[in-house]
Amino acid sequence: AGKQQAVDSISDLTTEQLRKTFEVNVFSLYWIVKAALPYLPEGATIVTTSSVQAYQPSANLVDYAPTKAAISAFTQALAQQLGPKGIRVNSVAPGPIWTALEISGGQPTKVIPNFGQQVPLKRAGQPAELAPTYVFLTSDESSYVTAQIYGVTGGMLI
């Protein structure tokens, strides 16, 4: 989730695009968590969305990938901070998933026909395939799970 715009070269990446990508993907998460925190009771859970890009960055996502690495680190640091208050914090790190991001500039047009073919399952995932992981992380079944990054990647390693 967030802002993703593929570029062929860092020379094509403007400071404005880099700033906006970090604002949308990282700063907005910080602002939302900070605003929600006073209302979160013991037993609450926060689930963020990182990406396999945090661990296996694509060359054409030079601004997006580091934001997802920042979200993973933010998630784990926040989990350490909020754990003593009984608040769990985890993240889902999707691999290639068919979303509007992919067809609206998130991937170069030439790679769209083969999007997701590089993963061991040989296909991109669907958003509905992520849902069970989010549900698990917000359920009582994950009451002893915090500071974890769950990959839903079609077999890509994180």
The answer to whether residue 124 scores a pLDDT higher than 90 is yes
* Spatial distance between the Cα atoms of 63 and 18, rounded to a whole number of angstroms: 6
Torsion, CA 81, CA 84, CA 86, CA 87, rounded to 10: 0
The answer to whether residue 1 scores a pLDDT higher than 60 is no
Mean pLDDT of 105-130: 86
The answer to whether residue 106 scores a pLDDT higher than 70 is no
Percent helix, strand, coil in the chain (nearest 5)?
Answer: 50, 10, 40
pTM for the model = 0.91
Mean pLDDT of 69-98: 98
Query: What residues form DSSP beta bridges with 48?
Result: 91
* Spatial distance between the Cα atoms of 30 and 26, rounded to a whole number of angstroms: 6
- The Cβ-side half-sphere exposure at 137, using a 13 Å CA radius, reads 24
Q: Active site includes 39?
A: no
Q: Which residue is catalytic, options 30, 39, 55, 64? A: 64
Question: For the chain, which residues make up each domain, given as ranges?
Answer: 10-152
The answer to whether residue 32 scores a pLDDT higher than 80 is yes
Instruction: Indicate the CATH number for domain 10-152.
Output: 3.40.50.720
Are 113 and 12 a contacting pair, CB within 8 Å?
A: no
* Spatial distance between the Cα atoms of 53 and 23, rounded to a whole number of angstroms: 17
